[in-house]
Amino acid sequence: MGLEPPVLAVENVFKRYQVSRGLLRPKRSLQAVRGVSLSVDKQRTLGIVGESGCGKSTLARMLLNLERPDEGDILLDGRSAGTVGRLDFSARVQPVFQDPYSTLNPRRTILETVMHPLRVHARGERNARETRAARLLDLVGLPRRAHHAHPNQLSGGQRQRVAIARALVLEPQVLICDEPTSALDVSIQAQILNLIQELQKEFGISIVFISHNLAVVEHLCDEVAVMYLGRVVENGPTADVMASPRHPYTKALLDSVLTPDVGLGLPDLQLGLEFPDPTNVPPGCAFHPRCPHREPVCSTEVPPACAQAGHGSECHFADRLAGAFAGPAAVCAGRG
C-alpha cells in the first residue's frame, strides 16, 4: 500500500429521501444509502453489485457530486468534494449512465455532444475541440458519417459509445459506470464492456462499475462491493469474494449466476418473497428475513464489520459460511 490516497473514496455516507405516500398520509423516510465506505485506487476497477433498489445509483450520484450525502463525505484525491470546485470535480470524475435512450440530448448532434464538455471547460478553440471530439469518437468506434447525426438516428450501442466518448473527452481520472450495458442486447453488451476495458488501459483511468450482474463484475473488476438495502455487506478482491463469499447474500448472488438467465439479472434468488423495503429496514442484520442461515441473534443485533486480509463482510456467521476457508480467526470490531 502506497502513501497515495485513493483517487475517489466515500466515507460513511448516508442518503435518505422523504417519500410521500399520498395526499394526507405523513411522509416516510427512505434510507437509500446507509453508511457506505468505499474507495478506488488509481487505474483500478471497483465493482458494485446488488439487486435493483439497493442504492447503487444513489451512491453513483453522490460519487459524481450530483447529490450531497446527508452524512459522511466524498473524497477526491483525499480532498473533500465540498472543497473541490464543481468544474474541477467534473474534469476528474465523469459518468456513463444506464439508459442509452435518455443519456444524450436529442437536440444536439453527436459531434456537438462530445464537444460540449470542452466548451463548458473552455478548452481550446472551436476547431481544436472539433478535432478532439472527432478523435474520441474514432476511439470509441463510431463511424464518421454518424458525427452529424442526432441521437435518434443511432442504435442503443452506438449511443453508449457516444456517452463514453463524452465522458472521456475531458480526460477524467475516474469513470462512474452505472449499469452501462444492462439496457443493451447481450451481443452488444460484450462489445461495450470490451471497449470500456480497452479505453481504461489507454487512458489509465479508474472505474467504478455498477452492475447487477456478478459475471460481468468478475470479468471486469479488481475489487467488488456487494450492496444490500443501502449497505455494503461484503467487499474485497474480486477473486477472493467469488471464491469464498463471507455473506449469505453474496453466496445467493453467486448461485444465481449459474442459472440460465444470467442476462436478466437477478430473477430468483430463492430467498423467499420478503422483498427488501428501504422505508422499513429490518432491525439487526437487514438481510435476516431472507437469510437461510439466520439465528435468533440476527434479528436483534447489527452484525459487526469483520475484515480478513482486505476481505470484509457484515455477517454474524461469516466464518461458518466461509466453511473450508482456513486461516486465523477474523478480527471483528466490537464483537460481544
Partner 1 sequence: MSVAQTHSGERASARRLRLRRWGQHGGLLIGGALLACAIVMALCAPLLAPADPYLQELGARLKPPVWAEGGSWANPLGTDQLGRDYLSRLIYGSRISLLIGLGTVAIGGAIGITLGLLAGFFGGRVDMVISFIVTARLAMPVMLVALAVVGLVGSSLTVVILVLGLLLWDQFAIVTRTAVRQIRDLDYIAAARAVGSSTPSIILREALPNVTGPILVVVTLEMAHAILLEAALSFLGLGVQPPLPSWGLMIAEGRDYIFFTPWVIAIPGAALFLLVLGINLFGDGVRDVTAPGGR
Site string for ligand ADP, 57-96 (x = CB under 6 A): xx--------------------------------------
Looking at the Cβ atoms of 17 and 325, the one nearer to ligand ADP is: 17
Strands 45-49 and 206-211: parallel
Short-list 46, 80, 50, CA closest to 65: 80
Q: Check residue 55 for interaction with ligand ADP (CB under 6 A).
A: yes
118 in Cβ contact with 199 (< 8 Å): no
Going by C-beta distance under 8 Å and a sequence separation of 6 or more, which residues neighbour residue 88?
Answer: none
Contacts to partner 1 from residues 78-137, by CB under 8 A: 86-87, 89-91, 93-95, 97-99, 102-107, 116-117, 120-121
Q: Indicate which of ligand ADP, Mg ion, partner 1, none lies near residue 251 (CB less than 5 to 8 Å, by partner kind).
A: none
Binding site partner of 278, from Mg ion, ligand ADP, partner 1, none, Cβ cut-off 5-8 A by kind: ligand ADP
CB of residue 103 to partner 1, shortest distance in Å: 4
For residue 202 the three cell numbers come to 489507454
19 binds, among Mg ion, ligand ADP, partner 1, none (CB under 5 to 8 A by kind): ligand ADP
According to the binding rule CB under 8 A, does residue 50 interact with partner 1? no
Q: Within its chain, how far is the Cα of 10 from the centroid? A: 12
Give the nearer residue to partner 1 in terms of CB position, either 183 or 266.
Answer: 183
Distance from C-alpha of 70 to C-alpha of 189, rounded to nearest angstrom: 35
Q: Does 20 bind ligand ADP (CB under 6 A)?
A: no
Amino acid at 308: Q
**250 φ, ψ (degrees, to nearest 5):** -60, -40
Q: Which stretch binds ligand ADP (CB under 6 A): 36-44, 52-60, 101-109, 328-336?
A: 52-60
> Residue 296 has which C-alpha cell?
435468533
Antiparallel, parallel or unpaired: β 8-19 and 28-40: antiparallel
Grid cell listed for 121: 471547460
> From the CB of 86, what's the least distance to partner 1, in Å?
5
CB 224 within 8 A of CB 49: yes
Question: What residues contact residue 43 under an 8 Å CB cut-off, 6+ apart?
Answer: 200, 204, 205, 206
Binding partner at 53 among Mg ion, partner 1, ligand ADP, none, C-beta below 5 to 8 Å by kind: ligand ADP
Binding site for partner 1 (CB under 8 A): 61, 64-66, 86-87, 89-91, 93-95, 97-99, 102-107, 116-117, 120-121, 144-145, 147-150, 152-153, 163, 166, 170
